[in-house]
């Protein structure tokens, strides 16, 4: 290559490289902006569940009203129901919401509303006598609309009692009523007393079934639950409500996704597993 040709090449190349560099930089910037937007949305922006949360919770008018009135509770509802939804869909999310409402609202309710829940729960447990596996499902996973059709009326009554207690608890909390608190030792003392009486003492087999949790014998879990509920309601109304309120206020981290998945593998469980 002659000196003249080299000079021409050197004169042309910078402009050519400059044009290519500008185009590449612009393309890289566009890609970076797009990727940055996607990463931000994934890591920091609202998820699809969060964007639709207010619309979805509107199916539960009382919970929706509480969420609108208390931003902190709304954040709790959102965080824990989304976690459950990601693992087990709407049945798990609804189950998580029910547990939050019990711990955050029912624990503030007055004696009358707490006792009404416990009486309605006893009626539902008695109605499930012919299907201990369904009873076990209810004890471990709670109930949702359409589940346990053999006790539809009893669960409708129980749902009404829960709703009234949640509404009462929210009102009392708003008015400054404190939630009952107890140490682990006090809670264990309540559970021990409920295992002993005064109506009936739980047998060793019933205690063993409770201790085995998801692997517990359904018949023994049902009979144990009946006895404990009767023991709870056998005392004076104030004492019964206090014990029940303490139990509801306790923060129990239950993996509702794992529980429902395990129970749904047992035929005749009574849950909505689809």
Phi, psi of 269 (to 5 degrees): -75, -20
* CA atoms in the 13 A half-sphere facing the CB of 96: 24
* pLDDT at residue 63, rounded to an integer: 81
Which residues are CB-contacts of 210 (< 8 A; sequence separation ≥ 6)?
202, 216, 220, 221, 224
* 0.85 surpassed by pTM: no
For 147-168, the pLDDT digits (tens) are 899 999 999 999 899 989 999 9
pLDDT tens-digit readout, 7-23: 444 444 445 445 545 55
Instruction: Quote the CA–CA distance of 136 and 141 in Å, as a whole number.
Output: 8
Model pLDDT for residues 92-133, shown as the tens digit of each residue: 787 778 778 777 788 899 999 999 999 999 999 999 999 999
3-class DSSP assignment, residue 177:
coil
Beta-carbon neighbour count of residue 19 at 10 Å?
10
Q: Is 161 helix (H, G, I), strand (E, B) or coil?
A: helix
**What CA–CA distance (Å, rounded) separates 153 from 159?**
10
């Amino acid at each position: 290559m002659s000196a003249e040709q080299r000079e021409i090449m050197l004169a042309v190349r910078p402009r050519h490289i400059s044009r290519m560099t500008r185009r590449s930089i612009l393309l890289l910037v566009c890609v970076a902006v797009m990727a940055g937007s996607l990463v931000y949305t994934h890591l920091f922006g609202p998820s699809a569940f969060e964007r639709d949360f207010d619309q979805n919770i509107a199916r539960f008018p009382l919970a929706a009203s509480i969420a609108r009135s208390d931003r902190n509770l709304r954040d709790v509802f959102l965080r824990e129901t989304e976690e459950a939804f990601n693992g087990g869909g709407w049945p798990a999310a609804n189950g998580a919401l029910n547990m939050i409402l019990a711990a955050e609202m029912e624990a503030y309710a007055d004696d009358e509303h707490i006792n009404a829940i416990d009486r309605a729960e006893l009626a539902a447990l008695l109605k499930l006598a012919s299907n201990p596996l369904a009873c076990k499902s209810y004890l471990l996973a709670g109930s949702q609309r359409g589940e346990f059709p053999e006790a539809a009326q009893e669960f409708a009554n129980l749902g009404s009692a829960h709703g009234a207690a949640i509404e009462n608890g929210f009102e009392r909390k708003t008015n400054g009523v404190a939630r009952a608190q107890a140490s682990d030792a006090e809670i264990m003392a309540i559970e021990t007393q409920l295992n002993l009486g005064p109506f009936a003492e739980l047998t060793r087999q019933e205690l063993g079934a409770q201790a085995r949790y998801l692997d517990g014998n359904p018949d023994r879990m049902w009979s144990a639950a009946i006895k404990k509920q009767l023991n709870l309601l056998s005392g004076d109304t104030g004492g019964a409500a206090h014990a029940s309120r303490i139990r509801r206020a306790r923060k129990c981290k239950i993996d509702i996704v794992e529980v429902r998945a395990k129970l749904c593998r047992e035929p005749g469980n009574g849950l909505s597993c689809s």
